[in-house]
A and B are shown apart, each in its own frame.
Chain A
């Protein structure tokens, strides 16, 4: 240390503009921001729900001259709706069980055994996680519909006529949904499974249990809560599903609550009042399930406290290695590889022919994307809604996360509850809520409707991602900024924001992807001028223009993957 320095630092005290101020008034600005955050959140979440409630008591659609009625709530008990409810529940329970078993088994293979292709498996699950449900459903229609590729292989190539695939069925819905939802189960179980205290398993080994006994009698019971949580989450995701049952259920006359709601709204004579009632009933089911799931998540941390660096010797699969490999390979093939190949194939042929040797190949479908002004418009709309809307969603999410985890002003619990509410509201229901409200708002027919709808629907994505990072940042880092003379706004900008950057980056990416491919929330509220890509693809497909639909799907996927790569590559300086 240089002690011969005589320059007197104490000479001139740098007094900041110290003022005498009454209690707490100097952070009035922060209070104002908190109130504004609360108000915007309340507007986004309460507006659609209140509108639905209003609509459920109306005889006519939004904006029409109608009277109050209880009929919609009585119709909820009609045989048709009850049947749909039962169908939805059966489909969702089956989806939930199969997805959880598949996802749980693959997580267990990855984190507790000597399975050889762990990295490949995780990569495959990640890819199918990002594969949009409605594109997967389209691919499976191409593959599994009565005139599709699989039936061609069966009857024309193998000469089997006794077995026929029919994707347009309840089984078909379950099949596609399991493929689509399994990654969610995998990611739910993987955290607790990989952080489980391995000494619990070691103790079982030391007590003389063989590896299979350990897996069944120790690991599985300890994973009870994570598995339960996964079951509930998959159940909710399945009830929420709109695109898959719409694409394969409606042609097969199998309706779920989500498609019923869509049909009630979109086909004449529309019955938006009953649709609102169905939406509220759906939200009650999903909301309760999410509530239960969150309770389960809170209870599960008992056995998973570890933190010690011991790596458990993974279970030797032995002769089960081959079946395990086949199972995982099959999942990768069915959920991602075969559907992608089918889409690529369909996108480069003139007319759909199941036999690739008889097909006429062409680039026409790709050409048509650029030739259609509607599609180009949808492309720009999507970029604006996803790119700009995600900024809005991220800012709101950051303010909410900071308010609920740091500021904790009076009422923050209410804000937290409000912001996590969309977890329990299906996309199509939020869309219907905005349909019921926007005719009364000055945003009618603008992209703002979509932005508001998406921000509300995916708000929990933002608050959870940012919130997880906020709690990681030591409060002292901010206090040090205050004692250094930076006011709350300056310290937020100069300390919190830079430290939040990784979460902001991945949060933006998450929202962008979610907004980019969302179809359920948009299905009811788009207009010809606010059409987005997901709707365009769907429209092409419904008009039996499979070629353009496939081409557009591929272009969309390539763009998404390219953006994903760009965001992931962006310098993460901390």
Chain B
């Protein structure tokens, strides 16, 4: 077992940052903690690292209990077998590249020859072997990031922790580094926690994603499950672009929902909400089909609207379409002028019925509670 977190609770003053969070990460698995800022994902990571002391719960790393509130166990970060990559990289400015990477080995009093070979191997893994004697202040952001990764893996930790490691890189470098982190993690086969607010990063990197909001886990699953079958509106909103419109649920049978949109259009969709009455349908922008309004063109899952904005994004257009009071985003390669009357449609399996709870938990939590 790699990392095991049970009923973790962390409070700052009277604010609960982490609210009974539990999850397990297997040896060799990469799990992302995904959520908006303030959702508790970084605090969770820092609790695993030992940089924060939780109020309640239990944390195991590699079958060793590093925190247990009931038994009064709190292992200091330097006694945990972890490697951590910080958001700001935290490269020590007074040390060279080699000295930075060698640090975890030196403080463990490894023999000189072993330090040399392990550091060089780690530097080779991140492609910085030729930079070993560089001052860390002569490095670009991307290079610093690689040094931080090399430093985190050089002592073969039992758990690898990433705190938004790509958020300070430019877009192109981000894509490349993302792939490299994935490859490295596969090679090292180490339990890895990856904190990010970027759903693209989480979807492409992870074996599993934990979507966090308000200090709790909303959904845990593979990237495909999270994207294709969000459990609630919060998850749908956080992962991938999502359109929502209000409906009245009239019939709720597994994978055969019948709803009515405000303009009277009949909606066929799938979902898991078993309650009739007010609800919400989510459709991804790339699953919506947009076409010119041909007149008497009504039917199920066909919504009438007006194009209010068209943005050309290279591969496709992004349309903002007003359907009654709701704005829907549509990705399509079909060119349609602004202000045109259009029909938007989707297949029943692409419309997911969700409860009517507020969208952004972070913003509306008080009203909801």
Nearest CB of B to A278, in Å: 47
Query: Across the interface, which residues of B come within 8 angstroms of A26, CB to CB?
Result: 75-76, 79
Q: Does the CB pair A16–B108 fall under 8 Å?
A: yes
Nearest CB of A to B64, in Å: 6
Q: CB-defined interface of B56-68 with A at 8 Å, one 1/0 digit per residue? A: 0000001011100
Of the candidate stretches A127-135, A315-323, A475-483, the one touching chain B is A475-483
Query: Across the interface, which residues of A come within 8 angstroms of B161, CB to CB?
Result: 483
Q: Does the CB pair B88–A16 fall under 8 Å?
A: no
Q: Does the CB pair A9–B188 fall under 8 Å?
A: yes
Complex formed: what's the CA distance from A22 to B73 in Å? Answer: 5
- Among A12, A486, A501, which residue has its beta carbon within 8 angstroms of that of B78? A486
Chain A's closest residue to B110 (CB) is A14
Q: Does the CB pair A483–B49 fall under 8 Å?
A: yes
Complex formed: what's the CA distance from A257 to B170 in Å? Answer: 65
B193 at the interface (CB under 8 A from A): no
- Among A3, A20, A480, which residue has its beta carbon within 8 angstroms of that of B75? A20
Query: Across the interface, which residues of A come within 8 angstroms of B153, CB to CB?
Result: 9
Of the candidate stretches B125-133, B205-213, B218-226, B344-352, the one touching chain A is B125-133
Q: Does the CB pair B79–A19 fall under 8 Å?
A: yes
Nearest CB of B to A24, in Å: 7
- Among B79, B92, B104, B122, which residue has its beta carbon within 8 angstroms of that of A477? B92
B158 at the interface (CB under 8 A from A): yes
- Residues A11 and B156 in contact in the complex (CB < 8 Å), given A2-B127, A18-B79, A494-B103: yes
Tally the A-B contacts, defined by beta carbons under 8 Å: 155
A74 at the interface (CB under 8 A from B): no
Q: Could you say which of A13, A485, A499 has the most chain B C-beta atoms within 10 Å of its C-beta?
A: A485
Nearest CB of A to B49, in Å: 5
Residues 547-574 of A at the B interface (beta carbon under 8 Å): 573-574
Q: CB-defined interface of A366-381 with B at 8 Å, one 1/0 digit per residue? A: 0000000000000000
A17 at the interface (CB under 8 A from B): yes
Query: Across the interface, which residues of B come within 8 angstroms of A487, CB to CB?
Result: 76, 78-79, 107
Report how many residues on chain B are interfacial, defined by Cβ distance under 8 Å.
56
A156 at the interface (CB under 8 A from B): no
B317 at the interface (CB under 8 A from A): no
Nearest CB of A to B369, in Å: 32
The interface size bin for chain A is 35 or more
A10 at the interface (CB under 8 A from B): yes
Nearest CB of A to B50, in Å: 7
Complex formed: what's the CA distance from A556 to B135 in Å? Answer: 41
Q: Does the CB pair A22–B74 fall under 8 Å?
A: yes
- Residues A14 and B156 in contact in the complex (CB < 8 Å), given A482-B50, A484-B107: yes
- Among B78, B81, B88, B107, which residue has its beta carbon within 8 angstroms of that of A474? B88
Q: Does the CB pair A13–B126 fall under 8 Å?
A: no
Q: Does the CB pair B90–A479 fall under 8 Å?
A: yes
B183 at the interface (CB under 8 A from A): yes
Query: Across the interface, which residues of A come within 8 angstroms of B155, CB to CB?
Result: 13-14, 484-485
A490 at the interface (CB under 8 A from B): yes
Q: Does the CB pair B105–A481 fall under 8 Å?
A: no
Complex formed: what's the CA distance from A11 to B190 in Å? Answer: 11
- Residues A9 and B80 in contact in the complex (CB < 8 Å), given A1-B180, A480-B86, A498-B94: no
B157 at the interface (CB under 8 A from A): yes
Q: Does the CB pair A18–B64 fall under 8 Å?
A: yes
Residues 1-46 of A at the B interface (beta carbon under 8 Å): 1-3, 5, 7, 9-24, 26-27
B121 at the interface (CB under 8 A from A): yes
A338 at the interface (CB under 8 A from B): no
Nearest CB of A to B177, in Å: 10
Q: Does the CB pair A574–B93 fall under 8 Å?
A: yes
A495 at the interface (CB under 8 A from B): yes
Q: Does the CB pair A21–B75 fall under 8 Å?
A: yes
Q: Does the CB pair B90–A482 fall under 8 Å?
A: no
Query: Across the interface, which residues of B come within 8 angstroms of A18, CB to CB?
Result: 64, 66, 75, 79-81
Complex formed: what's the CA distance from A44 to B66 in Å? Answer: 41
Complex formed: what's the CA distance from A487 to B73 in Å? Answer: 17
B77 at the interface (CB under 8 A from A): yes
Chain A's closest residue to B74 (CB) is A23
Complex formed: what's the CA distance from A498 to B95 in Å? Answer: 9
Query: Across the interface, which residues of A come within 8 angstroms of B157, CB to CB?
Result: 13
- Residues A16 and B81 in contact in the complex (CB < 8 Å), given A9-B188, A476-B86, A477-B90: yes
User: Can you list 16 A-B contacts with CB-CB less than 8 angstroms, sorted by A residue number?
Assistant: A3-B183, A10-B190, A11-B156, A14-B105, A21-B76, A23-B53, A23-B73, A26-B75, A476-B90, A481-B107, A483-B51, A484-B83, A484-B103, A486-B103, A499-B92, A501-B94
20 new A-B contacts at CB < 8 Å, known A14-B156, A23-B53, A477-B92: A1-B124, A7-B121, A9-B188, A10-B188, A11-B156, A14-B105, A15-B158, A16-B78, A16-B108, A18-B64, A20-B65, A27-B76, A476-B88, A479-B77, A479-B84, A483-B80, A484-B104, A490-B78, A498-B92, A499-B94
